[in-house]
Structure 1
């Protein structure tokens, strides 16, 4: 497994070893011991989630204020632009973001620690997105920051307006959002 730091300390690109031949491929998508050895992190994942979205669907920027979740995310079909935003007020990187293309072809995963908002936009015709979380989904603790907040100025690499849920259309502005200390 190869681990590469992003411009945001703590947000890591994970690239598993892929073994392929004319029959197809095999890779170990998660191994707790290998993850800990490669990242230095001891994480316990308690929930796996799977979504499928069409081209242009943007989900995010989501986080939980209580029961903050670390997320290990990957794409098993298609391609997305995945975005993490540091929303820890005490961080020197508060309000900064990093983006990584994740696809079924590149097999990359992204580790997003607690204290970050997370979102993605589908770049291919559709994408299947899987993520492991370090805490359970808690609806009353969930928050959303607007994907198009001018203070964050995220480059979503869009050529047309995204398709959004009502929740994402009504996300809070960054300067008004409840964030971490």
Structure 2
């Protein structure tokens, strides 16, 4: 596995070593030992999976402490624009967003640590997304930021006028009014 650091501390792109031959390919998406050898020691407790149509936008979501989640996000089928926003108030990159194209083809993963809001948009006809979490979901600790917050200037790679967004995500506050406890 190879780790690529982003401009935001602790937000990492993980690239597996892929073995290909005439049958197809094989790779380890996650290995506790290999992650630990790379300095990442996380105990994942839950896997989540979603299936979405082209133009779907999910997020930006987070959970406050003590249920804050680290996520390891990957795409099983299709292509997404994956986005993370730094909510750590003492961070020099507070309020900054990072986006990366994740796809079944490129097999990249994004490690989103606790203290970040996360979301994605679907660029392909459909996409199946799976992510590991180091904390269980807790409804009372959930929070979010509106996807079109002008202070974030996120390029989701899709038309926001045509985006398929849940009612819940449409009424989230901008970052300046969110209830983040990081």
TM-score tier after normalising by the smaller chain length: over 0.9
Residue equivalent to 1:78: 78
SS of 2:173 mapped into structure 1: coil
Distance of 2:164 and 2:125 partners within structure 1:
13
Cα shift at 1:23: 0.8
TM-score, normalisation: structure 1 = 0.97
Matched, 1:171 2:176: no
> Over residues 118-176 of structure 1, what are the superposed CA-to-partner deviations in whole Å (9 max), with x where a residue is unaligned?
00000000000000001000011111110000111111122353100111111111110
Say whether the 8 Å CA contact 2:143–2:180 is kept in structure 1.
Answer: no
Matched, 1:92 2:92: yes
Cα shift at 1:96: 0.3
Aligned pair count reads 180
Structure 1 gap segments, 5+ residues each: none
Matched, 1:48 2:50: no
Residue equivalent to 1:36: 36
Residue equivalent to 2:18: 18
Say whether the 8 Å CA contact 1:89–1:179 is kept in structure 2.
Answer: no
Residue equivalent to 2:155: 155
TM-score, normalisation: structure 2 = 0.96
Cα shift at 1:110: 0.5
Measured on the aligned residues, the alpha-carbon RMSD in Å equals: 0.9
Say whether the 8 Å CA contact 1:144–1:167 is kept in structure 2.
Answer: no
> Over residues 21-50 of structure 1, what are the superposed CA-to-partner deviations in whole Å (9 max), with x where a residue is unaligned?
111111111100101112x12100000001
SS of 2:99 mapped into structure 1: strand
Cα shift at 1:7: 1.6
